[in-house]
């Protein structure tokens, strides 16, 4: 939702339009998670913080009642350990005493050595939240490939629009399977714009209510996130 920082909105007005829409859809609080991907999106805490604060100021000026927090969606990469050691990565929150990092695999594969990187993180009390595993092509072909990471302790964040079928039938099927099996911890918008990937959870929430019930829906859409951010 931050402007001009990655493949999301390009202007502040587009960001504000997204924020207004999110509020209209019932969202009270969100965490903005711009991409960190060295060589593609060269972001880190310092520049994200600067744009985040400018966005906060504009939300207040426009009287948009959306509370925002700041983190990042971090691509698995060789630079990640050094970036963490240098304090360049914003964390998502905390879960059971551990800091949380929103971690993204490449779209077409799970990189060799990803398990070792995750062990390195966990040894330092940093717990990965794996972003949109149901959209990873390797996981779409073989959903069981995500199981070792769950067994390591990783949490899974499912994209709301995967639940409703925006990303295709296969990702929808995998998303629903993870949710039904209790493997998912969060459902998030992964919003990028007001065209195709809008900041709304409503349709996914409505679709899941008859499938998993109100209590589990509440946990996935707000309860677990509140626990992480409190």
Of the candidates 129, 139, 156, the residue with the CA atom closest to the CA atom of residue 71: 129
Residue count (the chain): 230
Element (H, E) at 213: none
**Bridge partners for 69 per DSSP:** 31
Rounded-to-integer distance, Cα 13 and Cα 121, Å: 37
- Residue range 180-205: mean pLDDT, rounded: 97
What's the pLDDT tens digit per position in 133-188? 999 999 999 999 999 999 999 999 999 999 999 999 999 999 999 999 999 999 99
- Residue range 206-215: mean pLDDT, rounded: 98
Rounded-to-integer distance, Cα 1 and Cα 113, Å: 31
pLDDT at 230: 83
Rounded-to-integer distance, Cα 115 and Cα 161, Å: 27
Rounded-to-integer distance, Cα 160 and Cα 130, Å: 14
Rounded-to-integer distance, Cα 147 and Cα 120, Å: 18
Residue 71 · residue 33 · CB < 8 Å: yes
- Residue range 55-66: mean pLDDT, rounded: 98
Q: What is the largest CA-CA distance in the chain?
A: 48
pTM here is 0.96
- Residue range 195-210: mean pLDDT, rounded: 96
What's the pLDDT tens digit per position in 81-124? 999 999 999 999 999 999 999 999 999 999 999 999 999 999 99
User: What is 73-229's CATH topology?
Assistant: TIM Barrel (3.20.20)
What's the pLDDT tens digit per position in 8-53? 999 999 999 999 999 999 999 999 999 999 999 999 999 999 999 9
Give the relative orientation of helices 12-24 and 45-61 as an angle to the nearest 10 degrees.
60
CA angle (97 as vertex; 226, 155 as ends), nearest 5:
65
């Amino acid at each position: 939702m931050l402007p001009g920082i990655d493949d999301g909105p390009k202007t502040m007005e587009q960001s504000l339009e997204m924020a207004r829409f999110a509020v209209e859809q019932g969202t009270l609080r969100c965490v903005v998670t711009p991409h960190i991907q060295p060589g593609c999106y060269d972001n880190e805490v310092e520049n994200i913080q600067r744009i985040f604060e400018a966005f906060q100021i504009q939300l207040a000026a426009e009287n948009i009642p959306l509370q925002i927090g700041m983190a990042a969606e971090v691509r698995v990469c060789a630079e990640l350990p050094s970036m963490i050691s240098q304090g360049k990565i914003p964390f998502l929150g905390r879960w059971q005493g551990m800091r949380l990092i929103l971690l993204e695999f490449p779209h077409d594969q799970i990189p060799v050595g990803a398990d070792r990187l995750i062990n390195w993180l966990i040894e330092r009390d940093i717990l990965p939240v794996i972003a949109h595993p149901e959209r990873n092509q390797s996981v779409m072909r073989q959903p069981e490939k995500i199981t070792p990471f769950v067994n390591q302790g990783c949490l899974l964040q499912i994209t709301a629009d995967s639940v409703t079928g925006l990303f295709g039938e296969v990702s929808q099927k995998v998303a629903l399977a993870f949710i039904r099996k209790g493997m998912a911890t969060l459902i998030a918008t992964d919003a990028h714009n007001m065209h195709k990937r809008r900041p709304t959870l409503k349709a996914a929430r409505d679709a899941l209510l008859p499938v998993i019930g109100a209590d589990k829906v509440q946990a996935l859409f707000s309860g677990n996130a509140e626990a992480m951010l409190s």
